[in-house]
Amino acid sequence: MLANLINGISLGSVYAIIALGYTMVYGIAKMLNFAHGDVIMVGGYIAFCSIAYLGWPPALAVLAAVVVCTMLGIVIERLAYKPLRNATSLAVLITAIGVSYFLQNAALLIWTSNTKVFPNIFANLPGLTLGDMQIAPVTLITVLANIVIMVALTLFTGKTKMGKAMRAVSEDKGAATLMGINVNRTISLTFAIGSGLAAIAGVLLCTAYPTLMPTTGAMPGIKAFTAAVFGGIGSIPGAMLGGILLGVIEIFGKAYISTQLSDAIVFSVLIIVLLVKPTGLLGRKVNEKV
Amino acid sequence: MGTMLKVEDLQVYYGSIHAIKGVSFEVNEGEIVTLIGANGAGKSTTLNTVGGLLKPRSGKITFEGKDLHGMAANKVVSEGMALCPEGRRVFQHMTVLENLEMGAYTRSNAEAAETLEHVYELFPRLKERYRQVAGTLSGGEQQMLAMGRALMSRPKLMMLDEPSMGLAPILVQQIFDIIVDMNKQGTTILLVEQNAQMALSIANRAYVLETGRITMSGDAKELAASEEVKKAYLGG
Ligand SMILES: Nc1ncnc2c1ncn2[C@@H]1O[C@H](COP(=O)(O)OP(=O)(O)OP(=O)(O)O)[C@@H](O)[C@H]1O
Ligand SMILES: [Mg+2]
């Protein structure tokens, strides 16, 4: 029971970190970046290659993954989404799906479809023993990383000038422009942060579930998207709550109901929540412009 | 009194809709100039174009001798021009103080702190409610916040788009008093209003806009006395 809960929180923390990227990009650019999940996969491969081929220490490999994904996020936004800033949301959505396929196929070309076994980068760290239960270091670090990221983002958006400007852009781009805020740069920054977080999520995910292939990011991406909607898309605490709840529901579903049905359970919960509260758990109503 | 803002033969389109058809006007330093006109005449379009939110098809906008053509919209405020847009557009989910901070986005914290005191003097209500979320303010308070936010950039020219919209008469009077105060303290004002009577009563000069063209212009008192303006905009 407790072990399942801890596993659920750990998996949920990964979803939460990914969901933050979805939710921040949605909040600012009002678009669903369906390629976000595939950025996770790229992060996983970059870290893998840095360790397995270049022999870099894990910390450096994580850094490399973050740097590459951050840049990837900026480039994707610039090339694929920025030209569509005034296009219909359907056009943007289709483009995002296109970017997703592009990344998966590029990974297929570069790294082939052979599954890579991701090394346990936290093997040297001590775990935690609670009574007769072992908690793996990756679990601890995932939960810890989640908390640190949550706190950092809350401080960033709540206390810094740049973070507040980000919130201003998410509310009203025109008014933000009148304040002197560079909206394009703010959107770029959001993609950078979201994609950097995706890299961290990628490393944590691959360490916990060590198989890496070009489609690795797809399912966690969809689940994290679900988590973001579940918690209330656009809301940072919502992404956190949604992610963790989703992880816990998934693990409990697997443990007590059915392994095959666990995903179906997850999505059913989403549907029920959205029927009862269309804005998600912590979402707020979208204001109608007067 | 030099010319502060000069707009020449401005043409603005929304797609194929020709909204502004060759508008020219100027605002001199220290003046209150008002732009009046019926719904859909193109008042907001004109202000938004000067403020950089819309790109004109052609025409020239000069501010303090500098051609604003091709300037990024977010750079306009640094030139000394602030637009308090139609419908207020305060950041609803941010606090009063955060809204004001955003108004001073291009300035240093020290400069902003100084201006903040000044804005609080002009709008004591904002000081009382500095931690309140802007979306929960009353309409009048939101208008004050929008004006205070625009003031936070210390503009030389303040453009106001229908500041009296939707406010009770007593508040309208208060808002106009504050506009006059701001002007006395050295801010040049370009005011767009539906409430032509009030606008003409505080302005030095006025322009009348009709379906994208300026049809009359001159001294505000004289315009207010003219039969044409009385009939069309002053209800008799
Ligand atoms: N986003 C837009 N897309 C298309 N047409 C627009 C848009 N905004 C304004 N227009 C049109 O441009 C013309 C001028 O509109 P504008 O908003 O400038 O008028 P206004 O004088 O400010 O009116 P009001 O007093 O009602 O605010 C109108 O015919 C309007 O329908
Ligand atoms: Mg208007």
Q: Is residue A132 predicted with pLDDT exceeding 80?
A: no
What pLDDT score was predicted for residue A281?
83
**Total-model pTM:** 0.91
How far is B198 from B16, CA to CA, in rounded Å? 34
What are the DSSP E strand ranges found in chain B? Answer: 3-14, 17-28, 32-36, 58-63, 66-67, 81-84, 157-161, 188-193, 205-210, 213-219
Q: State the residue for tokens 């929304």.
A: B14
Q: Is residue A288 predicted with pLDDT exceeding 50?
A: no
Identify the band that residue B147 occupies on the pLDDT scale cut at 50, 70 and 90.
very high
What pLDDT score was predicted for residue A282?
83
First to last CA, chain A: 51
* Smallest-distance ligand from the CA of B37: 1
**Is residue A92 assigned to a domain?**
yes
> What are B84's two structure tokens?
């308090």
Strand pairing of B81-84 and A133-135?
unpaired
For residue range A255-266, what is the model confidence (pLDDT) as tens digits? 888 888 888 888
For residue range A57-115, what is the model confidence (pLDDT) as tens digits? 999 999 999 999 999 999 999 999 999 988 898 999 999 999 999 999 999 999 998 99
**8 Å CB contact of A171 and B91:** yes
**Is residue A288 assigned to a domain?**
no
Quick check: CB of B37 below 6 Å from ligand 1? yes
With b for 16 or more beta-carbon neighbours within 10 A and e for fewer, the A30-66 pattern comes to ebbbbbbbbbbbbbbbbbbbbbeeeebebeebbbbbb
Going A241 to A247 to A250 to A255, the CA torsion angle's sign is negative
What does the pLDDT average to over A191-211? 94
Q: Is residue A182 predicted with pLDDT exceeding 70?
A: yes
Residue to substitute in B11, B35, B44 for testing ligand 1 pocket (most ligand atoms within 8 angstroms of CB): B44
What pLDDT score was predicted for residue A290?
34
Quick check: CB of B169 below 6 Å from ligand 1? no
Mean pLDDT of chain A: 91
Q: Which atom of ligand 1 is nearest to the CA of B192?
A: 22
**Is residue A170 assigned to a domain?**
yes
Q: Which of A134-143, A145-154, A264-273 has the highest mean pLDDT?
A: A145-154
The verdict on domain B1-80+155-236 having CATH code 3.40.50.300 is: yes
CA A68 to ligand 2 centroid distance, Å: 46
- C-alpha angle with apex A23: A18 to A25, nearest 5 degrees? 100
> What are B111's two structure tokens?
């400069």
Nearest C-alpha in A relative to B165:
A290
Selecting from B83, B87, B94 the residue whose C-beta is nearest the C-beta of A178 gives B83
Q: Is residue A289 predicted with pLDDT exceeding 60?
A: no
Identify the band that residue A2 occupies on the pLDDT scale cut at 50, 70 and 90.
confident
Residues in chain B: 236
**Is residue A147 assigned to a domain?**
yes
Strand pairing of B3-14 and B17-28?
antiparallel
What does the pLDDT average to over A45-60? 94
Q: What's the number of domains chain A is made of?
A: 1
What pLDDT score was predicted for residue A285?
61
Task: Select from A172, A178, A236, A288 the residue whose CB has the most chain B CBs within 10 Å, as the one to mutate to test that interface.
Answer: A178
- Could you list the residue range(s) of the whole structural domain that residue A252 is in? 2-118+136-276
Q: Residue A5 half-sphere exposure, CB side, CA atoms within 13 Å?
A: 3
Identify the band that residue A274 occupies on the pLDDT scale cut at 50, 70 and 90.
confident
What pLDDT score was predicted for residue B78?
94
Q: Which atom of ligand 1 is nearest to the CA of B46?
A: 18
CA A201 to ligand 2 centroid distance, Å: 47
- Sequence ranges of chain B with CATH classification 3.40.50.300: 1-80+155-236
What pLDDT score was predicted for residue B236?
60
Provide, rounded to the nearest whole percent, the portion of chain B with pLDDT above 90: 89
**Is residue A285 assigned to a domain?**
no
Q: Is residue B234 predicted with pLDDT exceeding 90?
A: no
> What are A175's two structure tokens?
């008014």
For residue range B162-215, what is the model confidence (pLDDT) as tens digits? 999 989 999 999 999 999 999 999 999 999 998 899 999 999 999 999 999 999
Identify the band that residue A126 occupies on the pLDDT scale cut at 50, 70 and 90.
confident
Quick check: CB of B183 below 6 Å from ligand 1? no
How far is B75 from B48, CA to CA, in rounded Å? 14
**Is residue A88 assigned to a domain?**
yes
> What are A244's two structure tokens?
């963790």
How far is B122 from A73, CA to CA, in rounded Å? 45
What pLDDT score was predicted for residue A287?
45
Contacts of A156 in chain B (CB under 8 A): none
CATH number of the domain to which A147 belongs: 1.10.3470
